[in-house]
Amino acid sequence: NAGVTQTPKFQVLKTGQSMTLQCAQDMNHNSMYWYRQDPGMGLRLIYYSASEGTTDKGEVPNGYNVSRLNKREFSLRLESAAPSQTSVYFCASRRRANTGELFFGEGSRLTVL
Amino acid sequence: AQTVTQSQPEMSVQEAETVTLSCTYDTSESDYYLFWYKQPPSRQMILVIRQEAYKQQNATENRFSVNFQKAAKSFSLKISDSQLGDAAMYFCAYRETGNQFYFGTGTSLTVIP
């Protein structure tokens, strides 16, 4: 049972380069999320998708785009990476039940030089 | 956006002793959900315990229990018989009946042998 799988685990980019973080879940969850984690700031929501075909902005969406490819997959794209986007990124998913908690991937550490 | 406050950036506890981590939140809602997540050095986010606001009884999971004070908007985590494996960053999280989760900035727990 893989749960939530993120790729890549580590990535180094130069300023201005683009990249996509991939996320897939095998739990048949409806909702999927992308968070970033920075020291002293907890987890901040970038984008989420309540269900297949919908996406919504979170607290810090600038500089990012997302695609909910199907029910399983939710990707995060950095079109022109900036040093301020150096962070650890987490994908998470949740079933729709009210008590549903978030299930997280292992995180992706991104460094932008 | 809702706010979740963890006022203790760092805590330490002797092995086998008890420690309490604090969390307060701001909301005008009556129906919501609260969670504690653990993040060990492996970076994986793991659910420790959850509480539904409509339940008066405090949640308990083995050595982990909460003190939920709805009127005070307080949700503290008590870890009994602390073990070396409890050393981690702990995050408090809040969710209303919608999709967004709000996280605190975390408390780093050190367990002293």
- Contact partners, residue B57, CB within 8 Å, separation at least 6: none
Q: Which residue of B has its CA nearest to A94?
A: B99
The reply to whether A93 touches chain B by the CB within 8 Å rule is: no
Tally A–B CB contacts below 8 A: 50
Token pair of A21 as six digits: 């973080």
Token pair of B22 as six digits: 């604090």
pLDDT digit string (tens) for chain B, length 113 residues: 568 999 999 999 999 999 999 999 999 888 899 999 999 999 999 999 999 998 888 999 999 999 999 999 999 999 999 999 999 999 999 998 777 899 999 999 999 99
Phi, psi of B85 (to 5 degrees): -70, -10
Closest residue by Cα to residue B39 from A3, A4, A24, A37: A37
Q: Which residue of A has its CA nearest to B10?
A: A40
- Return left, alpha or beta for B43; rule: phi > 0 is left, psi -120 to 50 is alpha, else beta: left
Do residues B57 and B32 touch, judged by C-beta distance below 8 A? no
CA atoms within 13 A on the CB side of A29: 28
